[in-house]
Structure 1
Amino acid sequence: MEILIKASQFILSLSLLIVLHELGHFIPAKLFKTKVEKFYLFFDYKFSLFKKKIGETVYGIGWIPLGGYVKIAGMIDESMDKEQMKQEPKPWEFRSKPAWQRLIIMLGGVTVNFILGILIYICLLWGYGEKFIPNENVKDGVWVQDSLAMNLGLKTGDKIINIDGEKPRMFRELTAKFINGEVFSIERNGKTITKQIPENFIAQLIDKKEKLERPLISLRVPFMIAKLSDSSLNINSGLEKKDLIVGVNGTKLKYYDEIVSSFQTYKNQTISLNVKRGEELKTVNVKISQEGKIGAYPVNLSQEQLERLGYYKLANFNYSFTEAIPKGFQKTWTTLTDYVKQLKKIFNPSTGAYKGLGGFLSIADVFPSAWSWYAFWSITAFLSIMLGFMNLLPIPALDGGHVVFTLWEMITGKKPSDKFLEYAQIIGFIILLALLIFANGNDIARKLF
């Protein structure tokens, strides 16, 4: 069922993005009286799942869910219609239009992608606002459990001051910023320490033998009892569900990491726990096992619960529609710049980030296993911005390649020959196919091994 929910969200998001992107080409083509022969969601090699001709355009759904396209008459595109290109140009064909009109047609798709991303972020901020734990509110520092974070030089209790000179606004952004970053500063025991992030840090994450089951950096949380394990020595100790441990042997302790660490000093001993039960303080005697444990599972507390317990103060922003507009633009810009940083690392072999390049399975896996409209639209906004930027890359088979050739024509007054454009399109397809095979091959390898 979880797979079905993920797949449904992925297909809906992908379909929406493809249709709107192609609509971005379709509308200016029609405005400039350019014939559009096909408008397709997904590719229709050999046959279509559905098609219907309305006017001069065939609208359809293909059976290969790798994208979509509009076939514009007189344009060298993925259809590679060489027969049409051999004929004399017709007034309604793409190649007969002025360069500025062709440029607008080619930029239409990415323009829609960026506008869509902005609009979604504006609506999300307007409808949901923002609720998060500010990084500056993490007064007692972070919880470091992962070996890679330790290798960076991080310790539990460190306060993250900045990454690449920028103060993190939200605590939940820290892991992503470390992945994209190059240098960071922390406060430890009142002193500021600056450290480098290894160039191959992403490769270390990918190559990690044991799965990264938790964030690189976590919030320090309290130890609230969820339940006792069946093998616990303390089944009859008097510990109850939702007891909050606040001290060990009379010593006040606030965080889970402190409490668990203290247990290690009392192996095979009986100690007293100070617990808060509702508004009452209780003392409960418990036995510590030879492994240094009491045999209890902790509650996985939400940020709202942490706030109610007095551990962290949440920031809660609600925006009017007009207030959400600049915030939406800001969110789009931040998303775009972070994505560009990731791409730079992927195309730099020394970072090893290319090992983490993923295809359709990776994208689908980003969607949550339970349906969430907030998550769906957030991910769709990100994918729209990603699709817009990717299509602007100067690869011949992408919109960016056509844009480069058209700009060259406008600057020099020399139009590339149809034969040159055909060869460029073939080379572009080979590059894209290689990237597609590599990315999806990575997905398959990760699933298998």
Structure 2
Amino acid sequence: MDVLVKLSQFLLSLSLLIVLHELGHFIPAKLFKTRVEKFYLFFDIKFSLFKKKVGETVYGIGWLPLGGYVKIAGMIDESMDTDQLKQDPQPWEFRSKPAWQRLIIMLGGVTVNFILAFVIYIGMTWFYGDRFVANESLKDGVWVISDDLKAAGMQSGDKIVSIDGEKLVRFDKAQAKMLTAKELVVNRNGVEQELKLPVDFVKGIIEDKGGKLIVPRMPFIVAGFEDNSLNKEVLKERDFIVSINGTTITYYDQMEGFLKPFANQTLPAVIKRDEVAQNVTLKVDKNGKIGVAPAMISNKDAEKLGLFKLTTNHHSFLESIPIGLQTGVDQLVGYGKQLKMIVNPDTGAYKGVGGFKAIFDVFPNTWSWEMFWSITAFLSIMLGVMNLLPIPALDGGHVLFLLYEMISGRKPSDKFLEYAQTVGFVILIALLLFANGNDIFKALTGK
């Protein structure tokens, strides 16, 4: 059932993005009286799941959910249909239109992608409010999970002051900013320290399955037991572990390495069960563990425990506009930085490039409209940026040739555009194979 929920969100988001992107091409094409022969959601190789001709356009749904397309008359595109180019140009064809009209048609898709993302962020700010954990409210700092971050010198209990010189106000922005950061300033026991992050910092995170870098410090609440746990009869789920062997345990991260010297021993402990403190004895196994898993509690529960302050700012629709726009700009700039890291081999970020499975895995197992719209907005930005890359088979490639034509006054020949499209298509296939190959490799190796 969880897989069906994820799949439903994935397909709905993908379909929405594809249809709106292609509408971005379709609408200006029709406005400029350019014939659109096909409008397809997904690819219809060999056959279609549905198709219907309305006027001069065939609308359909293909069976291969790798994208979609509009087939515009007189344009060399991914269909590689060059038969019409052997005839004299017709007034309704793309190639007969002025360069500025062709440019608008080609930029229509990515324009819609960016507009969609900004509209979603504005709508989410207005409907859900602006909710975040105030960084300054993390009175005892953060729990450092990433080994690579520890290697860079960060410790659990550190309070993040700034990232790349920018003061951190919202804790929920920390992880994304740290992925592309070069330096951090942390407050450790009242003293500020500067930590330098290596250029290949992100590589280690990717190889560690791209998990969390840091989270708010959490109390040690029992969530479950390992199969060979020696304490199943002593502890229960939702127990708070307050102290072990006389040492107060305020946060789970304090347990890291704490029990190793007590392997194969029995230790006195204090737990809190249903708000009542109890004395128990815990058995430590040969590996220095007590065989329990910690619970990650919700933000609301953490706030009730006084771990941090959850701030919610509600805004009118007009107030939501600049906030939503700024969120979109921040996401766009952040994705641009990530893309820059990917093309730099020294960072190792290319190892984290994923295909459709990676996108599928982003969606939660339970239906959440808030998460759905947030993910869809970011994917819309990704789609817009990727389509602007100057690769001939993408919108950016067409735009590049059109700008050349407008500046030089010379239009590339149809034969040149045909060859360029073929090269671009090969590049796209290679990128597609690389991204989805990464997904397969990670699934097979667990890395």
- Residue number in structure 1 paired with 2:103: 103
- Residue number in structure 2 paired with 1:150: 150
Separation in structure 1 between the aligned mates of residue 358 and residue 231 of structure 2, nearest angstrom: 43
- Residue number in structure 1 paired with 2:221: 224
The change in CA–CA distance for 1:248 and 1:46 in structure 2 (over 3 A counts) is: closer
Q: Secondary structure at the match of 1:78?
A: coil
Contact map agreement 2:206 2:352 (CA 8 A) in 1: yes
Separation in structure 2 between the aligned mates of residue 397 and residue 258 of structure 1, nearest angstrom: 53
Structure 1 stretch displaced more, 408-417 or 170-179: 170-179
Task: Give 1:117 deviation, angstroms.
Answer: 0.7
- Residue number in structure 2 paired with 1:80: 80
Deviations 1:235-271 (A, max 9, x none): 776x666454444566654222336766556667666
What is the correspondence of 1:372-391 to structure 2 with a 5 Å cutoff?
A: 372-391=368-387
Deviations 1:348-381 (A, max 9, x none): 1111111111111111111112222221111111
Task: Give 1:229 deviation, angstroms.
Answer: 7.5
The change in CA–CA distance for 1:138 and 1:88 in structure 2 (over 3 A counts) is: same
Separation in structure 1 between the aligned mates of residue 285 and residue 442 of structure 2, nearest angstrom: 38
Q: Secondary structure at the match of 1:155?
A: coil
Task: Give 1:336 deviation, angstroms.
Answer: 0.8
Q: Secondary structure at the match of 2:48?
A: strand
What is the correspondence of 1:180-259 to structure 2 with a 5 Å cutoff?
A: 180-208=180-208, 215-226=212-223, 242-247=238-243, 252-258=248-254
The change in CA–CA distance for 1:38 and 1:184 in structure 2 (over 3 A counts) is: same
Contact map agreement 2:139 2:307 (CA 8 A) in 1: no
Report the residue type matching 1:429 in the other structure: F
- Residue number in structure 1 paired with 2:58: 58
Contact map agreement 2:266 2:284 (CA 8 A) in 1: no
Deviations 1:55-109 (A, max 9, x none): 1111111222221111111111122222211211111111111111111111111
Separation in structure 2 between the aligned mates of residue 54 and residue 290 of structure 1, nearest angstrom: 72
Aligned length: 444
Task: Give 1:298 deviation, angstroms.
Answer: 3.9
What is the correspondence of 1:297-376 to structure 2 with a 5 Å cutoff?
A: 297-376=293-372
Report the residue type matching 2:93 in the other structure: E
Task: Give 1:168 deviation, angstroms.
Answer: 2.8
Q: CA RMSD in A?
A: 2.5
- Residue number in structure 1 paired with 2:137: 137
Q: Secondary structure at the match of 2:142?
A: coil
Unaligned runs of 5+ in 1: none
TM-score, normalisation: structure 2: 0.91
The change in CA–CA distance for 1:43 and 1:241 in structure 2 (over 3 A counts) is: closer
Deviations 1:372-431 (A, max 9, x none): 222111111111111111111111111111112112222222212212211111111111
Separation in structure 2 between the aligned mates of residue 207 and residue 355 of structure 1, nearest angstrom: 8
Separation in structure 1 between the aligned mates of residue 394 and residue 385 of structure 2, nearest angstrom: 11
Separation in structure 2 between the aligned mates of residue 63 and residue 294 of structure 1, nearest angstrom: 51
Counterpart check, 1:284 vs 2:279 = yes
Q: Identity over the aligned pairs, expressed in percent?
A: 60
The change in CA–CA distance for 1:254 and 1:394 in structure 2 (over 3 A counts) is: same
Q: Secondary structure at the match of 1:223?
A: coil
Counterpart check, 1:29 vs 2:19 = no
Contact map agreement 2:230 2:285 (CA 8 A) in 1: no
Structure 1 stretch displaced more, 173-182 or 406-415: 173-182
Report the residue type matching 1:3 in the other structure: V
TM-score, normalisation: structure 1: 0.90
